[in-house]
Amino acid sequence: MLTRINTKSLWSGGVQLVQPSLHSGEAGISALRTYFHFFSMRTPFNEILAFVLLIAVLPPPALLVQALDNGVGRLPVMAFNTWNAYHCEINETVVLQNAQLMKSVGLQAAGYNHVNIDDCYSEKERSPEGDIVASKERFPSGMRNLTDQLHEMGFNAGIYSDTGWFTCQLFPGSFQNEDRDIKLFREDWGFDYLKYDNCAVPFDEIIKEGMVGKYQRMADAIARLASSTGKSPMFYSICQWGREQPWLWARRFGQSWRTTDDIGPTWSSIASIINENSFISWASDFFGHNDMDMLEIGNGDLTFDESKTHFTAWALNKSPLIIGTDLTKASNETLSILMNHELIAINQDPVIGTGITPFRWGFNPDWTTDAKHPAQYWSGESQNGTIFMLINVLDKPADMSFKLTESPWIRAGRQYSVRDLWSHTDNGTAIRSLTIPNVPAHGVVALLLKDAGDEPEGTQPPCARPEWCMDQNGTRIDQP
């Protein structure tokens, strides 16, 4: 039985059309015309169809939300964070030792310019005056001394807190102390970056706010402090594990937002996060980035190929790149992945802020969610050409093929030079299609294609993609 949707009630009840923005342009205007055309044909079916069209053809809602441009976080952060490698076993020696290694092995030169402390740095109780107190055992020299040293080394310094009564490890959180704590972190201790977690949530009758309100409280405190001091605001990393669709609202408050639950050092975790982000990859742009969580490269039992896939997907999706391994034990393989300068250049592209998106799922029908088998074929823009990422989601090697014009960024009738972003080699010219043989299990291919002129005259078939291929005399030339 088909249930009628009363679109008249929906309209009169406050459904609000957003005026097309720069993101939507003529497409948005055309969408509205289509909607009104179907809505005017008042049959039950067309009322339903009109409503579906309204949802389907307008741009994603987050693209109509203005990103917070306060001069901070235009590009994804590149950093080291203590949590994945050390959890609560941190101290000032651990932090400074890893910072020194970042300089000496070339990570800082590659772009990693933040050193971030996660949970467990404080005493269990606030001071009599109400301030968070740094652990006297773990950080005996004090936080200002630590940030001064990091700044002298050329790094920005990051700190951690929580929207609730406590942090996730039950140290003091910042609920009802947002202004006090942000002043402590920024002015007294000298930190530049705040990761803000989501544990120890107060009872509803106390907080009287949802996820948006919880994170707005600290965003407002950051803005007030910046206004009163004249200094730049802290970078605000919103860590709510993808709850309540942060890609729709978090860009108003901070510069990055977690999209999923915590990562783990396993292929199943990596694949699941890629899968979830395949449906929201459009949400990253300048000043606002989907955060796929800290990197696990160098941890657990990830193979070399799985680690390459991990880094490629994070870098090309314009996620923050946050090292989470103990650098005192990092292998040359680990460092070679973390310092892939060609992938980092795309992640940090100052001209194109958006990341890659899937154009074909491959293993599954398009738009299928599958935590074990995420989308396989991706592409996107860069200032230097079109990027392609291919992921072999199988447990065995496989050949992978695609037509160039499956990507919206490729022009028909052109040929393209092919650069491999892992071997760092130029590999000839592609016409119409590409096949990559023997991609390793859970492995990745990352390519940069540049326009190399017209394809050879007479290249057949007439259309690379057969749908509605037609001669100018009206003869349809679809190929099977």
Give me the DSSP letters along 147-169: HHHHHHTT-EEEEEEESSSB-TT
Per-residue confidence band for 480, with pLDDT thresholds at 50, 70 and 90: low
| Per-residue pLDDT tens digits for 369-400 | 999 999 999 999 999 999 999 999 999 999 99
Give the number of other CB atoms < 10 A from CB of residue 477.
12
Answer yes or no: pTM beyond 0.85.
Answer: yes
Q: Is 415 helix (H, G, I), strand (E, B) or coil?
A: strand
Q: Does the pLDDT at position 57 exceed 70?
A: no
Beta bridge partners of 196: 161, 238
Catalytic residue among 179, 262, 305, 326: 262
| Per-residue pLDDT tens digits for 419-474 | 999 999 999 999 999 999 999 999 999 999 999 999 999 999 999 888 889 999 99
Per-residue confidence band for 44, with pLDDT thresholds at 50, 70 and 90: very low
Q: Does the pLDDT at position 240 exceed 70?
A: yes
pLDDT at residue 466, rounded to an integer: 81
Q: Does the pLDDT at position 47 exceed 60?
A: no
Q: Does the pLDDT at position 27 exceed 90?
A: no
Query: Residues with Cβ < 8 Å from 433, sequence gap 6 or more?
Result: 401, 402, 403, 404, 464
Catalytic residue among 118, 162, 192, 197: 197
Q: Does the pLDDT at position 37 exceed 60?
A: no
Report the relative pairing of strands 414-420 and 444-454 from DSSP bridges.
antiparallel
- Percent with pLDDT over 90 in the chain: 82
pLDDT at residue 369, rounded to an integer: 98
Q: Does the pLDDT at position 283 exceed 60?
A: yes
Q: Does the pLDDT at position 88 exceed 50?
A: yes
Residue 456: cis peptide before it, omega within 30 degrees of 0: no
For all residues of the chain together, what is the average pLDDT? 89
As annotated, the residues of the chain forming the CATH 2.60.40.1180 domain(s) are 357-454
Mean pLDDT value of segment 324-350: 99
Q: H-type helices in 176-296, by residue range?
A: 178-183, 204-207, 211-229, 267-277
Q: Does the pLDDT at position 108 exceed 70?
A: yes
Does domain 357-454 fall into CATH 2.60.40.1180?
yes
Quote the CA–CA distance of 205 and 207 in Å, as a whole number: 6
Q: Per the CATH hierarchy, to which homologous superfamily does domain 78-347 belong?
A: Aldolase class I (3.20.20.70)
Quote the CA–CA distance of 295 and 80 in Å, as a whole number: 9
- Mean pLDDT is lowest, of 27-31, 103-107, 296-300, 412-416, for 27-31
Q: Is 135 exposed, middle or buried (0-12, 13-18, 19+ CB in 10 A)?
A: middle
Q: Does the pLDDT at position 51 exceed 90?
A: no
pLDDT at residue 68, rounded to an integer: 87
Per-residue confidence band for 220, with pLDDT thresholds at 50, 70 and 90: very high
Task: Look up tokens 């970078």; give the residue.
Answer: 235
pLDDT at residue 40, rounded to an integer: 41
Amino acid code (one letter) for 13 = G
Q: Is 123 exposed, middle or buried (0-12, 13-18, 19+ CB in 10 A)?
A: middle
Amino acid code (one letter) for 124 = K
- Of the candidates 96, 439, 440, 407, the residue with the CA atom closest to the CA atom of residue 430: 407
Report the relative pairing of strands 444-454 and 385-391 from DSSP bridges.
antiparallel
Beta bridge partners of 389: 378, 446
Q: Tell me the residue ranges of DSSP E strands in 50-138.
A: 78-81, 114-116
Instruction: At 403, give phi and psi (nearest 5°).
Output: -85, 135
pLDDT at residue 243, rounded to an integer: 93
- Of the candidates 76, 67, 74, 78, the residue with the CA atom closest to the CA atom of residue 322: 78
pLDDT at residue 325, rounded to an integer: 99
Query: Residues with Cβ < 8 Å from 393, sequence gap 6 or more?
Result: 271, 362, 363, 372, 373, 374, 376, 442
> Is residue 193 within a helix (H) or strand (E), and if so which, with residue range?
strand 193-197
As annotated, the residues of the chain forming the CATH 3.20.20.70 domain(s) are 78-347
SS3 content of the chain, % helix, strand, coil (to 5): 35, 20, 45
Mean pLDDT value of segment 246-262: 98
Catalytic annotation on 262? yes
Q: Does the pLDDT at position 272 exceed 50?
A: yes
Q: Does the pLDDT at position 5 exceed 50?
A: no
Quote the CA–CA distance of 84 and 56 in Å, as a whole number: 39
pLDDT at residue 398, rounded to an integer: 99
pLDDT at residue 479, rounded to an integer: 56
